[in-house]
Structure 1
Amino acid sequence: MNLYSAGQALCRSYLSAFYDVEIIGKDNIPKDEGVLLCCNHIHLMDPPFLGSFIDRPVHYMAKAELFETPILKTLLPKLNAFPVKRGASDKQALRQGLKILKDKNVLGIFPEGTRSETGEIQKGLAGVGFFALKTDAKVVPSAIIGPYKLFQPLKVVYGKPLDFSELKESKVSSEEATNYIMEAIADLIREHNHK
């Protein structure tokens, strides 16, 4: 068992023990294609929660500052994380994200770029739309619905892959593509928030 699989199993056990976890739509994640897994961001535990209950390893962008500490610098790459510089166009991170998707792996991304303080969905960053438009990866909107309160309901919903064919033909901007993804995430939250 590699470190990612061990961490995944540990997170799954922790989350199942301390929260009333519900996983919805796991079958919406293609099994052998590149997948851009896009999710809202409400808590520090979102990345492990998003990936802990699915069968495919997930690669994540993480803020570059985390890679400046000796322990995390060694640990994070083994957990499929790679650095991104926030507030700038990080070409190296974009190239790495494209490679992950073109190699038919799963890239988990939080389009808002940072956690929402209120839990309300925020505007997404254009980089997410760039990945959706520049690759043939399936774009799977997802939503974490909390809050993270001990022994309370906590769910992650994986939506059906979005159809990007018309948007690509229309040559929409990365920002417009991101807005399309964010609307799909918001729809999942509205649909599942009170179920």
Structure 2
Amino acid sequence: MYTFFANLARIILRATGKIEVKNKHCLPADGGYVVTCSHSGWLDVAVLGISMPRPVHFMAKQELFRRKGISAILYKINAFPINRENPSPSSIKTPVKLLKSGKIVGIFPSGTRTAEEVPAKRGAVTIANLARVPIVPAIYEGPGTFKAWLKVRKATLTFGEPFYVESARKDQIGIYVERLTVEPSRNIG
């Protein structure tokens, strides 16, 4: 089902506009990794998903899973629920297990859709550290909704260099969290 929805999104988005993907060479060829991305609307999720070389397992807020129909679709496109207010051990176990089996886990470190700058949460750093996999930061620049897409018709997704979190101590986590957001004008070719 993931492939079906990814191909459908790819066809619709490419037929109605232009998606530029920069630094795709930064994506590891194999093995598990965490891809983090800015989050302004649902369209960035679709663009990230269709730009990746393999399926992505997205962490999503549990509120999205409340309706049965939507929940069924989310599970079929590899999304899994996370309680952002009161994370349980499975909030960590599920993505770590996926990563250790060589899968890609997509995390939006801001934890919410926003056009404003918000502090990144530590989940991506903690999960990557426990799974011993790299983090690939990405930034999406473009519209957040399909209606806005039809007006703008252009989006850019820029990947940054992957980095490992090596046994991060609590006092170091802030340094790694800052690296989750890619600044297009810095370290991006």
Q: d(CA) in 2 for partners of 1:52 and 1:110?
A: 16
Q: d(CA) in 1 for partners of 2:34 and 2:14?
A: 25
Ranges in structure 1 where 5+ consecutive residues have no aligned partner: none
Q: d(CA) in 2 for partners of 1:70 and 1:5?
A: 21
Residue number among 92, 99, 102 corresponding to 2:100 in the alignment:
102
Q: What amino acid sits opposite 1:145 in the alignment?
A: E
Q: What amino acid sits opposite 1:187 in the alignment?
A: E
Q: What amino acid sits opposite 1:128 in the alignment?
A: A
Q: d(CA) in 2 for partners of 1:163 and 1:62?
A: 23
C-alpha change, 1:173 and 1:101, in structure 2 (3 Å) is: farther
Shift in Å at residue 25 of structure 1?
1.5
Q: d(CA) in 2 for partners of 1:156 and 1:89?
A: 29
SS at match of 1:121: coil
Ranges in structure 2 where 5+ consecutive residues have no aligned partner: none
SS at match of 2:112: coil
Q: d(CA) in 1 for partners of 2:14 and 2:187?
A: 19
For residues 3-18 of structure 1, the aligned pairs below 5 Å read 3-18=1-16
Q: d(CA) in 2 for partners of 1:96 and 1:177?
A: 25
Q: What amino acid sits opposite 1:160 in the alignment?
A: E
TM normalised by structure 2 equals: 0.87
Identical counterparts, % of pairs = 28
Shift in Å at residue 10 of structure 1?
0.7
Aligned equivalent of 1:112? 110
**RMSD between superposed Cα atoms in Å:** 2.3
Q: d(CA) in 2 for partners of 1:174 and 1:94?
A: 19
Partners of 2:20 and 2:155 within 8 A in 1 = yes
Q: d(CA) in 1 for partners of 2:178 and 2:127?
A: 13
SS at match of 1:45: helix
Aligned equivalent of 1:78? 76
Shift in Å at residue 181 of structure 1?
2.7
